[in-house]
């Protein structure tokens, strides 16, 4: 058996959540050579049995000692769990891929989207951060255009599904819809206001400058991933009543001229991108189309006629897969390549 096919001992922290379960699903597709899979969660869901390749695995309550001896550990839990356990897991020799925002802006922690900056994956144990879901799909869509024309400014508005918050959020949307259709009282507990048949321009907490933390994440993470602090990014992040799939309307301004024809050519060859753009036949990406896809779907391309070199586009991606779980597994795949080069 060659080095590249050596089986790995893999752990998932937050295994009972939406992203954790999606990682399990992707690993079932033989995305990584898994010798042993261990699942961890909080006390609340520890003891659940989760199936992996026809075998039931008991989810254990996370403890430091249980993290020892792993090659790769995915963290699909909250920032408080990552803060407590990620450094220890890396210290005892694991590659740690963290889906929280806890370490994203730390200088020594790579922030990686494999289609964009795979060179940032290192070969030894340590922490690698998975970017914000909306940032991931945006940089994948813009990477080839940035290489050709150099991004100057990005104005983005997101349309983010409730699954980005977690299982409780999807349950709240379902329950609110049920209550509305049966003329019952609506309760808003996960969200600040009713989400069913509504949209909420509020994701994460607000800073003194009135930008939400989600909006500032998109700015800072984009600059770090592209390794270019001069790219100006301004975002408006909105929660919409869809279950899966984040959309984003992007206005990108470049330093160099970029024609529509060249944009189609670049995007057609870009890794991880699928162009769906024939609006006269009502062909454009929608969240429902993204549910079973791993690509970032791009459409509604048009030249911005208000600046010398600008492009408008609409993008959609499955926030649980490419926006989280798939990107994390792709990081692990890239790490394995570095291990045995």
> If we measure between CA atoms, which residue out of 101, 96, 95, 62 comes closest to residue 79?
101
Q: What is the DSSP string of 121-159?
A: --SSSEEEEPPPHHHHHHHHHHHHHHHHH-EEEEEEEEE
Bridge partners of 200, per DSSP, are 239
Give 91's contacts (C-beta < 8 A, 6+ positions apart).
Answer: none
Helical (H) or strand (E) element with 332: helix 326-339
* Active-site position among 70, 86, 237, 246: 246
Residue 25: both structure tokens together:
């699903």
* Active-site position among 133, 179, 202, 338: 133
Bridge partners of 13, per DSSP, are 40, 75
The DSSP code for 65 is G
| Known catalytic residue at 179 | no
| Known catalytic residue at 246 | yes
> If we measure between CA atoms, which residue out of 280, 327, 340 comes closest to residue 138?
327
Catalytic residue set: 133, 246
């Amino acid at each position: 058996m060659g080095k590249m096919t050596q089986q790995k001992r893999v752990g998932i922290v937050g295994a009972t959540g939406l992203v954790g379960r999606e990682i399990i699903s992707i690993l079932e597709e033989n995305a990584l050579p898994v010798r042993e899979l261990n699942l961890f969660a909080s006390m609340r869901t520890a003891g659940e049995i989760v199936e992996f390749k026809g075998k039931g695995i008991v989810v254990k309550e996370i403890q430091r000692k249980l993290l020892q001896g792993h090659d790769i550990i995915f963290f699909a839990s909250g920032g408080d769990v990552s803060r407590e356990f990620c450094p220890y897991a890396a210290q005892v020799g694991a590659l740690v891929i963290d889906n929280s925002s806890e370490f994203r802006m730390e200088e020594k922690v790579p922030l990686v989207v494999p289609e964009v900056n795979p060179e940032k994956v290192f070969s030894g144990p340590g922490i690698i951060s998975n970017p914000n879901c909306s940032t991931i799909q945006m940089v994948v869509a813009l990477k080839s255009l940035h290489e050709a024309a150099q991004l100057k400014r990005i104005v983005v508005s997101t349309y983010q599904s409730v699954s980005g918050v977690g299982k409780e959020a999807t349950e709240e949307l379902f329950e609110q819809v049920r209550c509305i259709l049966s003329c019952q009282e609506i309760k808003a507990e996960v969200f600040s206001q009713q989400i069913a048949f509504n949209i909420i321009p509020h994701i994460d907490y607000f800073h003194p400058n009135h930008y939400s933390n989600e909006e500032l994440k998109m700015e800072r993470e984009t600059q770090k991933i592209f390794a270019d602090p001069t790219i100006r990014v301004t975002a408006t992040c909105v929660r919409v009543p869809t279950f899966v799939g984040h959309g984003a309307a992007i206005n990108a301004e470049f330093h160099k001229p970029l024609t529509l024809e060249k944009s189609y050519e670049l995007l057609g060859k870009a890794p991880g991108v699928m162009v769906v753009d024939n609006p006269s036949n009502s062909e454009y990406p929608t969240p429902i189309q993204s549910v079973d896809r791993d690509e970032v779907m791009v459409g509604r391309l048009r030249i911005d006629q208000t600046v010398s070199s600008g492009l408008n586009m609409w993008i959609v991606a499955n926030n649980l897969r490419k926006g989280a779980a798939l990107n994390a597994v792709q990081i692990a795949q890239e790490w394995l390549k570095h291990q045995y080069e």
